[in-house]
Every structure is written in C-alpha cells, then in structure tokens.
Amino acid sequence: LNDNPSYYKITLSGTVKSPKINFDPPFLMLMPVPLDVKTETAINIIPQDYLRQSRIQVELPELELEDGDRIYPFSVQFPEGQNIVLSSDDTIKELICHISFRSSRPVSFLGSMFFIDEEEN
C-alpha cells in the first residue's frame, strides 16, 4: 500500500457436505396380513451432516387398484417428533419412524416412500 502495491495469493480449499439421511434397516418388507389388519414396523432415520434444525416430511405412495380406485394404505408416525435437532455437542439424534400398512382390499406393492427435509433433500 502507500504506492507500493503488493499482491497476495490466497488459496482456499474445502469440502462441501450435503445433508443426507440413512435408514436402519435400509429397506422395508412388511409381512402379508389378512384384509383390514394393520402390520407395522419401526425404522431408525439417521441424519448426517446437518448444520441446523430441519423437519422431515414423508411422501406416501398412492396405490391404484385393478378397478381404478386409488388408496393410501400406508401411514407413518414419529413417536418422538420429526425434527432433526443438533445437540450442544454437534451430534444429531436419530429419529424413530413407525410405518404401518392396512388395506380392506387385496393389494401388493413394491415402491418407494420419500423422506424429505425442509430444503427438499
């Protein structure tokens, strides 16, 4: 400065970590049950690399029956809440999700449920 230009080159490097969630178990198979009987299981949702609180939403599949009727036989509950919360020591608590199925009509299904945070990850 002071009419003596000096140039400094600064090189920055870093790693960008996108928030993601893992599941335990990684896939779900519910046992066949009689009509109008509920079957249910619990999964653990394991959030990773979140820097702030977020809320998980679930997109449940709509099933189309042979006669064209559409049903939503799946439901989910989060008994301890569906917020991803960072603790004071920067750890993230796992979430428990209960997934249940009940149908009064015969149906089988192979597909996906989508778990989405507030930033649509």
pLDDT in tens, 53-73: 899 999 999 998 888 899 999
Run of H or E including 90: none
Class of domain 20-116: mainly beta
**How much is the pTM?**
0.78
- Spatial separation of the C-alpha atoms in residues 3 and 26, rounded to whole Å: 64
* H-assigned helices in the chain: none
Q: What percent of the chain has pLDDT over 70?
A: 94
- Spatial separation of the C-alpha atoms in residues 29 and 118, rounded to whole Å: 27
Contact 78, 100 (CB under 8 A): no
- The answer to whether residue 10 scores a pLDDT higher than 60 is yes
Contact 73, 102 (CB under 8 A): yes
